[in-house]
């Protein structure tokens, strides 16, 4: 079997059957042999029977041939050992909070690699996903982050999208490109893991900010200012952590920031819109029924930036609204009342 780019079909296991894991599985199943693993056996069974993930991605039938399972041994066997063929991929599609427990389940098993899709800093430790992977699995297993502007529903519909893979391993970067690039998905590669992960994490906090601003009717000028100044503070944090400033001009920086701040499919933006309506955070999150990574990330980034002495006024403002009871209007007034400063510093 060959896919539409005339490259051979590969085996891919996706661990995590939320909206994004399911969408990536649907997109890749057109060209590859895909197994989607859900940790909840009842949910896996229902999804396999309905040929649709009615809980996390309703309305998108699973392609024929795509497997769904809650059996972790079978999910790993799909991409390990001689039967797995050339260039198999193991993809972790859980939220950041689930990455450590998921990787702990993989420890000591023969896995070919691990590619994560999550965007955020780990709560409590403030670590980026690649640092979590290093702590749990060490450097012997090659790891990669696949990120960029990508709403699950659009990818599941087969609409065009461009992503970036970051890895210290050139071989794994090439493998991810060779497997995922194709059809309507373009995959670029880079070796700035920190830059790619910081951009993907902090854009979610900025999406909450723009949701609040739009919900309050502050206008398009305010939205553009938040996105642009948000990019400045994301870049400051990333550079302080060792990233290259240029990475933040790319898909995983500016690209994902624009998408998430302006697209109503964004769960993080919807958190901001809800806050502007005066809804309690708990209500907004429970109505979403999905993860909104910007919420825990705002806390983690506020702590980290404080330790590093990086100025992140918008992130701090979002954290104040989320966790300290600040009102959006008070916060806006405080942001505007700050002393003027040079734009490029």
Ligand X SMILES: NC(=O)c1ccc[n+]([C@@H]2O[C@H](COP(=O)([O-])OP(=O)(O)OC[C@H]3O[C@@H](n4cnc5c(N)ncnc54)[C@H](O)[C@@H]3O)[C@@H](O)[C@H]2O)c1
Ligand Y SMILES: O=P(O)(O)OC[C@H](O)CO
Query: Would you call 203 a catalytic residue per the annotation?
Result: yes
Q: Can you tell me which residue has the tokens 């505007």?
A: 336
The CA distance from 186 to 176, in Å, is: 11
Cα–Cα distance, 179 to 88 (Å, whole number): 8
Least distance in Å: CB of 262 to ligand X? 14
Q: Which does 266 bind (CB under 5 to 8 A by kind): ligand Y, ligand X, none?
A: ligand Y
CB of 58 closer than 8 Å to CB of 23: no
Q: Is residue 156 annotated as involved in ligand binding?
A: no
- Answer whether 33's CB lies under 8 Å from 74's CB: no
| Binding map of ligand Y across residues 112-151, x = CB under 6 A, - = no contact | -------x-----------------------------xxx
Site for ligand X in 76-95 (CB under 6 A): 93-95
Q: Exactly one of 65, 101, 124, 280 binds ligand X (CB under 6 A); which one? A: 101
Which one of 95-103, 104-112, 178-186, 255-263 is the stretch in contact with ligand Y (CB under 6 A)? 255-263
128 vs 218 by CB, closer to ligand X: 128
Residue 62 lies near ligand X (rule: CB under 6 A): no
Query: Is the CB of residue 80 less than 8 Å from the CB of residue 41?
Result: no
Question: Which of 152, 213, 218, 321: binder of ligand X (CB under 6 A)?
Answer: 152
Task: Report if residue 164 touches ligand Y, rule: CB under 6 A.
Answer: no
- Shortest separation between residue 256's beta carbon and ligand Y, angstroms: 5
* Contact string (CB under 6 A) for ligand X, positions 240-279, x = contact: ----------------------------------------
Q: How many residues bind ligand X (CB under 6 A)?
A: 25
Per-residue buried b or exposed e for 137-163, using 16+ beta carbons within 10 Å of the residue's own CB: beeebbbbbbbbbbbbebbbeeeebbb
C-alpha atoms less than 13 angstroms from C-alpha of 62 in its C-beta half-sphere: 26
Cα of 139 vs its chain's centroid, Å:
22
Counting contacts by CB under 6 A, is residue 16 touching ligand X?
A: yes
Query: Does residue number 267 form part of the binding site for ligand Y (CB under 6 A)?
Result: yes
Buried b (16+ CB within 10 A) or exposed e, 280-292: eeeebbeeeebbb
Question: Minimal distance in Å, beta carbon 144 to ligand Y?
Answer: 17
For the chain, the first-to-last Cα distance in angstroms comes to: 53
Catalytic residues: 203
Binding site for ligand Y (CB under 6 A): 119, 149-151, 204, 207, 256, 259-260, 266-268, 293
């Amino acid at each position: 079997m060959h896919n539409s780019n005339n490259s051979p079909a590969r085996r891919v296991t996706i661990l995590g059957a939320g909206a994004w894991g399911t969408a990536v599985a649907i997109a890749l199943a057109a060209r590859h042999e895909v197994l989607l693993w859900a940790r909840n056996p009842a949910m896996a069974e229902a999804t396999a029977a309905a040929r649709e993930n009615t809980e996390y991605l309703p309305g998108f039938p699973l392609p024929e041939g795509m497997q769904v399972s809650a059996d972790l041994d079978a999910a790993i066997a799909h991409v390990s050992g001689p039967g797995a063929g050339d260039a198999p991929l193991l993809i972790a599609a859980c939220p950041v909070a689930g990455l450590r427990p998921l990787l702990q389940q993989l420890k000591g098993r023969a896995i070919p690699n691990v590619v994560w899709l999550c965007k955020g800093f780990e709560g409590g430790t403030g670590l980026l996903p690649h640092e979590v992977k290093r702590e749990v699995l060490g450097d012997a297993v090659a790891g990669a982050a696949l990120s960029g502007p990508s709403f699950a529903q659009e990818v599941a519909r087969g609409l065009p999208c461009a992503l970036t893979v970051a890895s210290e391993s050139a071989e794994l970067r090439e493998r991810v490109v060779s497997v995922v690039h194709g059809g309507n998905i373009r995959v670029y590669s880079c070796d700035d893991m920190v830059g790619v992960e910081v951009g993907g994490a902090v854009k979610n906090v900025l999406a909450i900010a723009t949701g609040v601003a739009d919900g309050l009717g502050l206008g398009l000028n305010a939205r553009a200012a938040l996105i642009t100044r948000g990019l400045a503070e994301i870049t400051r944090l990333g550079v302080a952590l060792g990233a290259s400033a240029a990475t933040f001009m790319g898909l995983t920086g500016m690209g994902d920031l624009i998408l998430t701040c302006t697209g109503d499919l964004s769960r993080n933006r919807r958190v901001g819109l809800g806050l502007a309506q005066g809804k309690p955070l708990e209500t907004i999150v429970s109505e979403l029924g999905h993860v909104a990574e910007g919420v825990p990330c705002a806390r983690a980034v506020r702590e980290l930036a404080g330790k590093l002495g990086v100025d992140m006024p918008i992130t701090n403002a979002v954290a104040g609204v989320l966790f300290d009871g600040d009102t959006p209007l008070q916060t806006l007034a405080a942001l505007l009342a700050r002393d003027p400063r040079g734009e490029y510093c």
